Amino acid sequence: MLKKILIWVALCGICLSAASIHAADMDDDDEHVNDDIPAFEGSWNVKFSNQRTARFDLQGWDGTWQETGPRKIVPPACRSKKIPVTVQHSHAAVLEFSVWGSSVAKDCPDVSYKFKVVHENKLVAVTKDGVSVTMTRITKHR
C-alpha cells in the first residue's frame, strides 16, 4: 500500500513539474508577442471623424503632436503647438501613447490614444467620445 502511495505521489510531482514548465514556456511566448518595439517611427497624418486633423511625429518612444485642423475645431491653447508625446506600448498589434497638452498650455488637455494596427502604415482608434481616428504614415524614420 505504501509503495502505491509513493508511486502516486511521484507521478503527481512529475505532472505538476511538467505543467509548470509548460506554463513558463507559454508565458515566455506571450511576453515575446507583446514586447514593446519602436515599430511606428515616422510622420503620420491623423484624421478624426469630427473633422479634426493632426500631425504625429514619432522617433523611438517620444514624439510630437500638432493640431492642424480648422481654427474652430482646434482648442486655442493647443493651436500650432508641438505637443510632446510619450509611447506607453508599441508592438505588432497596438500603438498606445499620451499627448501631454498641459505641458505647453494649462488649457490644452492631456489625451491618451490606443491605436490598433490595420497594416504597418495605417492605424485606427476610437476616442472615449466615440470619435473614429485614422493615422496614415507619411514617412518612415530609420
Residues 107 and 61 occupy one common structural domain: yes
Tell me how far apart the alpha carbons of residues 49 and 22 are, in angstroms, rounded to a whole number: 46
pLDDT in tens, 31-61: 445 567 778 999 999 999 988 999 999 998 8
Cα separation, 45 vs 121, whole angstroms:
10
| Same-domain check for residues 24 and 52 | no
CATH number of the CATH domain containing 103: 2.40.128
User: For 4-24, what is the mean pLDDT?
Assistant: 49
Q: Exposure of 46 by Cβ count < 10 A (0-12 exposed, 13-18 middle, 19+ buried)?
A: buried
Lowest mean pLDDT, pick from 13-17, 25-29, 35-39, 56-60? 25-29
How many domains does the chain divide into?
A: 2
Backbone torsion region of residue 137, taken as left when φ is above 0, otherwise alpha when ψ lies between -120 and 50, otherwise beta: beta
User: Which three-class secondary structure state does DSSP give residue 18?
Assistant: helix
94 vs 24: which has the higher pLDDT: 94
DSSP-derived letter for residue 109 is P
For 11, the domain range is: 1-33
Q: What is the pLDDT of residue 8?
A: 56
**pLDDT score, position 117:** 95
Do 27 and 94 reside in the same domain of the chain? no
| CA gap 116, 96 in Å, rounded | 9
Per-residue pLDDT reduced to its tens digit, 63-122: 999 999 888 888 888 988 999 999 999 988 999 999 999 999 999 999 999 999 999 899
Residue 22 has pLDDT above 60, yes or no: no
* Alpha carbon distance, N-terminus to C-terminus of the chain: 69
- Whether 28 shows a pLDDT value over 70: the answer reads no
Residues 103 and 130 in one domain: yes
Query: Quick one: pLDDT at residue 32?
Result: 45
pLDDT of residue 135: 97
Backbone region of residue 51 per phi and psi (left: phi > 0; alpha: psi in -120 to 50; beta: other values): left
Q: Is the pLDDT of residue 136 over 90?
A: yes
Give the Cα separation of 33 and 89 in Å (integer). Answer: 12
Q: Are residues 8 and 54 in the same domain?
A: no
